Amino acid sequence: MLILAGLGNPGAQYAKNRHNLGAMTVRACAERWRFGAPRKRFSSLAREGEIPTESGAQRALILEPQTFYNDSGQAVSEAMSFYKLTPSDVVAFFDEIDLAPGRFRMKTGGGAAGNNGVRSIIARIGPDFRRARMGTGHPGHKDKVLGHVLSDFHKVDTEWVSAMIAACAEALPLLAAGEDARYQAEVMRLAPAEKLDPRAPGRGTDS
């Protein structure tokens, strides 16, 4: 069993926020691979399904935690404990201000880098889970970060946001097979984005 957790905040008022990019993405993954209908489990909206890989189907559980972003670890730990999994069976999808808009990086382990959702997961299951980091850009000053992540994407962002979400869903069999480096490369091939300074004014920022 693989757990794919998409970080975000519950409620219509947050649905299009940058902070909900992870939740948007796992929802697209569930739709692309025809997962079951969402059910309220593990403090989340949870969907079960299978992802095809070259070696056979990989069972997966997609979670949209309903505990709010900063308490994402509760949902992840509940599901991980129920299925008796390890942190390496967990992939968290989340918005990353320290990557330029549209950039995508996979990483395993490490610290929270100021992300309270990631910090919550670390507190519950330890640091050794897999992270799908989805760049949204940095507003340029730390005092602007909260307003930035809790604001909706701009209309000009629609194209790259949609492309990155679709690429993450389409390439999912590579992630399910444990080939994180190939998954990262395929996402960026399907949805290329310039490697820019994440603090530079431009798309995805409120500067």
Burial label for 105, CB within 10 Å (0-12, 13-18, 19+), is middle
Q: Strand 90-96 vs strand 56-65: parallel, antiparallel, or unpaired?
A: unpaired
Residue 19 catalytic?
yes
Burial label for 199, CB within 10 Å (0-12, 13-18, 19+), is middle
In angstroms, the CA 131 to CA 110 distance is 10
In angstroms, the CA 14 to CA 67 distance is 13
Say which of 19, 141, 148, 154 is annotated catalytic.
Answer: 19
Residues known to be catalytic: 19
